[in-house]
Every structure is written in structure tokens, then in C-alpha cells.
Structure 1
Amino acid sequence: MANKERIISFPHIGNYYVAIEFLIKNTLNMKILIPPPITKKTIELGSKYSPDFVCVPFKYNLGNYIEALEAGANFLVQAGGGCRFGYYGETQEQILKDIGYDFEFLSILNTDDLSPFSTYGIFKNLNPKLSLRKFTYYFSLTFKMVEVIDSIEEYIRENIGFEVKKGSFEKLQKNFLNEIKTINNFKEIKSLYKKYDTLFKNVSINKPQNPIRVGIVGELYTVMEPYGSYFIEKELAKKGIEITRFITVTYLFKKHPKAKDLIKNSGKYLKYTIGADGTDSVSKAKQLAEAGYDGIIHFKPFGCTPEVNAMPMLQNISNDYNMPILYFSFDSQSSETGIKTRLEAFYDMISMKREKEKCKNVI
């Protein structure tokens, strides 16, 4: 491997591959290979070689790795996680080597401290010529890129269900993602954000004053990777629903409250942290309920312990605030038809509830 050109790859999660590619391109002397977009083939490959009991993000990531290795990658990166996923890197590496692939594997587990100084040493080992100044600059610029992507996508979630000309938001988002890859400095990204913020807000929408609002909570991978949740956000938008979700990379590393504040905000529903994103799910569900949302959808991989722990508290919030909650537990065997059927029933429920409340107010 020492004499071969290093070709680096990493798993997909939402559109963040754009920012990851930018950071690697500007800091490491490596060729970058982005895996193909996630498809049914990805999860089939990942499931074929995964232990049955592991959560579905493991299977998606493993499928990403196999597709990348088949395309020529020979250096893989895994970012770890705040739950048992943080221990999966070694397992994934061993599985891939048992299959017969020849590659290097880097597992970055200290994701709680994603600062330039804590990660510089890792990049320096891969590129000895990399200066701290250069790395810090491009690391900061990459995070700014992430913030811009998250800000644009937040506006899209809240408004795409009301566009007058269908497809306008998706077309503009595609242009935005292509153009953000070309930025070189903070001035350019500031200018790009200003440009697209204006363009998105100029897209014609027909949004009622008080639309149906649904909040999404749950485990971070299934929340942030659209394919991992069977594009439920898109399905909700088709029904003219305003969508809110908190978990983004910007939220996780910049806006995330301390555990004690999440517990405080959870009130009577939670007294202790319950791991990974479970505490967030309870706290944010209560916040959404107090804000008068019409419903909440909870995402989790099958068997995700922190989110299983959160579910009784979520149900208590649902009962106390008379706010429906729909639970989805995803695995490689999840049925797209079944998911759409449950979404239809959920939409009918919150629509009828809204109509009843409207009639009460008239009377």
C-alpha cells in the first residue's frame, strides 16, 4: 500500500459529502472517490456482510465502503459516533478484510471535540507537509460551508411543500450544491450564501398563514440521511406540510445544548441522560409540543437503545399535549409501501384533528 496512490473515500450522510470532499481536497495529498449515491444495492451489499443485530447505519456505511472499494478506493474513513456505533469501525474494517479487500482504514472516534487542533494531528500524519495554519483555515472554511448548507436546507424543509412550480426548490438546490464546490475563501462563500438565500426566497410559494406543521426527532443518521428514512421529508412536503428538524451537523457541533440543559428543558419527562440522541428527542419533542405543532415523527434504526429508551417519554408528551407521534423503526427489511401507508394515515389523523379544532373555534 505504501507505494500505491492513496484513494480516499467515506460514507454518505445527506449532502455533507460536498464539505468533506472540499476539506480533503485542500488539506490532503490524496485522490478522492465519493461512493455512488445510496441505492437499494447499497443496503443489500451492507446487509449481506453485516451481523444481523447491528443497526441500519452500520449496514448503509458498509455498503458505501464496498461500492467505494469496488470503484478503486484504498483508504477508508469512519467517523465513529456517540453510541455503540463508535465501536463499529474495527468491525467494519475486519469484515471488509475478511471479504478480501486491500485497504487502509482510519477510525476517528473523538467526534465530541471536532476542533481544528484536535484533528490536525490526524491529517498531519496523512500529509506531513500540511501546516497548522493551512489546516485551520480550510477546516474553518469547511465548517462555514456546512453552516451554509444547513441554513439553505432548513429554508427548503419549511417551504418546499408550498412551491407553486413543482421542482423549483430541488433544481435550485442542485445548482447551489454544484456552485458551493467552487468556493475558495470566506468572501466567496458569504457572497454565494447571499446569492442563493435571495434566489430561494424569490421562488414562488403559496403557503397558508397557519400550515400543518410536523417536527422530526430521533437518531442522527436516519434523520440526516434521506435514503435512510425513505425520503419521508419529501413525502411530507408533497402533502403541503411545513417540516422542522433540529439535528444537523451545525446543531450537533455548534448549537447543541449541554446535557443538563436538555434535561431541564424536558421538565417532568426526563431526569437523566439516556444516551446518544435520545435525550435530544425528548427535549425537542416537548419543545415542539409546546409550540403547538400538529404532530411529531420519530426516526430510529431498529434496536437503537437510546431511542427505544426515549419512546415512553415521547408517548407521555403525546398524551399530555394531545399531539400525535408516529414512530418509525428502520432496517434493511423496511417496506417502502408500508411506510407510505402509515404516513397517509398519520396525515389523515392530523388533518382531521386540525379540522375538528377549527370547528370548535367557529362554534
Structure 2
Amino acid sequence: MTSKEKIISFPHMGNYYIAIEFLIKHTLNMKILTPPPITKKTLELGSKYSPDFVCVPFKYNLGNYIEALEKGANFLVQAGGGCRFGYYGEIQEQILRDLGYDFEFISILNAEDMNPFSVYGIFKKLNQKLSFTKFTYYFALTLKIAEIIDKIEEYIRENIGFEVKEGSFEQLQKDFLNRLKTVKGFRDIDKIYKKYNILFRNIEINKPKNPIKVGVVGELYVVMEPFSNYFIEKELAKKGIQITRFITVTYLFKNHPKEKELIKFSGKYLKYAIGADGTDSVARTKQLAEAGYDGVIHVKPFGCTPEVNAMPMLQNISNDYKMPVLYFSFDSQTSETGIKTRLEAFYDMLLMKREKQKWKKVI
């Protein structure tokens, strides 16, 4: 490499870049270059240089890498996963080298690597002076930052659709995320969470006792990166819908049930694990149906095998519980207009279902 200074970058996924920046800042002697926010340009770049058949998270990540390299990054971290996407790092690296970029590349986020001991071993190679004690302290702090992001965003999802003053939640969320960037220790995190938890709950909302409730399930990247799902949660909130989703970083690394438990939750609908987040999608859809949710939206990258496997079971749950399930498959060719049109139709169907239930009670 020609550059003496190491400038590290990584792909986006929701607002978790704040936690990743924090960990790198306090454990590695590298300059951090967070890629620009994801835009259509990001997807266009990733799609242009990706094989046609790969899933859309690959394309978004590749676009992130190209934008970061163009801005001066020379050290890339791969974001893998529990499905075939975990094997995409080598392909992405080769594509970028074929394009003429000079960089170092490391994959540390595969499922089997995500424990303090494994990650420390990799970080130690990058910073010989890094002690295990220091690393575990900041690793724990990083997970705590992700946890309070998840807690605050859960409250936002459930209530933003009912705010009295438009934009109240979004503006406070920006302040909250900026404040998180100043964290130095656990006390700071606790203070920030207590402060903003109160501030968010003080935002005036006009929420009915029994709002329309919709759950979102599916593949983790498309669920957690709002740009990749065309801001479905935001679109639902505009219609006065309470949104619930389970998959977050905290859920995946702290609260995620074992596969045997998920299969048990699934009851008659599933006898075997179906890979990645597919088993989770079935179990949680059944849970939402039993909780009386009005509907579920299932999101996945086009061609995602585990989620395709889950779809017949989701349809069986939908039929048995009379709960509509709307399916979305995303790729670089997905139409934003088409997404909004289908969401409108889904919302109209949920309203008609509610009205029908009211008439049944009257009769």
C-alpha cells in the first residue's frame, strides 16, 4: 500500500455505524472514514460491479466500499452473516482489486467470529498494543450503545405514527444519535439513555387505545437498513400504524432464542430449522398472529433461500389466523412507486378488516 496512514471503513446498516465507530476509535490506531449515507448512487455503484444473481445486501455493501475507497479509505471491514452472504467477502475483495483499488481487507463479522475472544484476536493483529482488558471494556460499551439505540428506536417505531407535531420524533432522534457520539464510558451511556427516554416519552402523541398493529419480519439486513426496504416503517407510520419488529443488534447478540426454541415457538408450522433468519420469521409471525396483530410484512432480498423457504409456513399461519401477510422481495430493480402502491392496498385491506370486525360485534 502506498499510504502510511491506515484509514478504515465499513458498510452501513441502520444507525449502528455509531457503535462501530466507537469501537474502532477506542481500540485501533486508525483514522475512521464512515461511508456517505446510502443513496441510489450507492446501489447503482454496487449493482454495476456485482454479479447479477447476488442478493441486494451484497450490492449495497459493495457500493459502500467503493464510495469509501473513493474518499480515501484503504482498510475495509467485511460485514458477513449467517447465510451465503458470509462467504461474499472474498468476491467483494476481488471485485474491488479488479477495479484497481489499493487496500487491505478483513472479515470479522461472520456469526462464528462474533464473540470477544475471536474479535480480540483480529483486533490484536491490527494493534499490537491493545490489551484484552481494554478491548473487552470497549466491546461491552459498544454493545451497550447498540442496545440503547435499539431501545429508543423501539419506542419510536411504536409511537411515531401518532405524534401531534410532525417531525418531533425525527428531530429528537437526530439529537440523540449525535449525543451518543460523545460517549466516553458507561455512566455517559446511562445518563444519555435516561435523559432521552424521558424526552421521547414527553413528546405529545394522539394514540388510540387499539391502533392498527403491523409486525415486520424477514432477513436481517433488509429489516435493519431502512434504505434497503424503501423506508417501509416510515411509510407505515404515516398511516397511523404501530410497528413492531424483533430483529435488532441487541436481539441478534443478546436476546436471540436458540433454534430449538424457535422451532418450538413455531408449533405445527415448522419441524426443522430452515437457515439464517427464516426460522425466526416463522416463529415471530406465529407470535404476532397469536397476539392479535392486524398484519405482518415479510421482507427479504430477492432470491434469499431461507426466507423463500419460510414463505409457505407464513402463508399457512396467515390462513389459520386470518391475518394478512404482505411479501416484499428487494433488488436493485425494485420500484419505489410499486412498494408504496402495495402498502396503500395493504393498509386499505387492514382498515376494511377492522370495519368488518366492528360490524360483527354490532350484529
TM-score normalised by the chain length of structure 1: 0.99
- Matched position secondary structure for 2:227: helix
> Structure 1 residues 195 and 109 mapped into 2: Cα distance closer, same or farther (>3 Å)?
closer
Match of 1:99 in 2: 99
Match of 2:294 in 1: 294
- Matched position secondary structure for 1:213: strand
CA shift, 1:3, in A, is 5.7
1:13-36: CA deviation from partner (whole Å, max 9, x where unpaired): 000000000000000000000000
- Matched position secondary structure for 2:293: coil
C-alpha distance in 2 between matches for 1:286 and 1:227: 27
Where do 1:110-125 residues align within 5 Å? 110-125=110-125
CA shift, 1:268, in A, is 0.4
Structure 2, unaligned runs of 5 or more: none
1:66 aligns with 2:93: no
Q: Is the 8 Å Cα contact of residues 169 and 200 (structure 2) preserved in structure 1?
A: yes
Point out the more displaced range, 352-361 or 208-217. 352-361
| Letter of the structure 2 residue corresponding to residue 5 of structure 1 | E
CA shift, 1:337, in A, is 0.2
1:229 aligns with 2:234: no
Percent identity for Structure 1 against Structure 2: 80
- Matched position secondary structure for 2:284: helix
Where do 1:208-287 residues align within 5 Å? 208-287=208-287
| Letter of the structure 2 residue corresponding to residue 214 of structure 1 | V
Q: Kindly report the root-mean-square deviation, in angstroms, between the aligned alpha carbons of the 2 structures.
A: 0.8
1:92-131: CA deviation from partner (whole Å, max 9, x where unpaired): 0000000110000001254245222221110010010111
Q: Is the 8 Å Cα contact of residues 75 and 105 (structure 1) preserved in structure 2?
A: yes
| Letter of the structure 2 residue corresponding to residue 26 of structure 1 | H
| Letter of the structure 2 residue corresponding to residue 21 of structure 1 | E
CA shift, 1:80, in A, is 1.2
1:315 aligns with 2:315: yes
C-alpha distance in 2 between matches for 1:2 and 1:67: 19
Match of 2:337 in 1: 337
Match of 2:200 in 1: 200
- Matched position secondary structure for 2:228: helix
| Letter of the structure 2 residue corresponding to residue 308 of structure 1 | V
1:147-193: CA deviation from partner (whole Å, max 9, x where unpaired): 00000000000000000000000000000000011011101110110
1:215-270: CA deviation from partner (whole Å, max 9, x where unpaired): 00000000000000000100000000000000000000100000000000000000
Q: Is the 8 Å Cα contact of residues 79 and 111 (structure 1) preserved in structure 2?
A: no
C-alpha distance in 1 between matches for 2:215 and 2:100: 44
Match of 2:167 in 1: 167
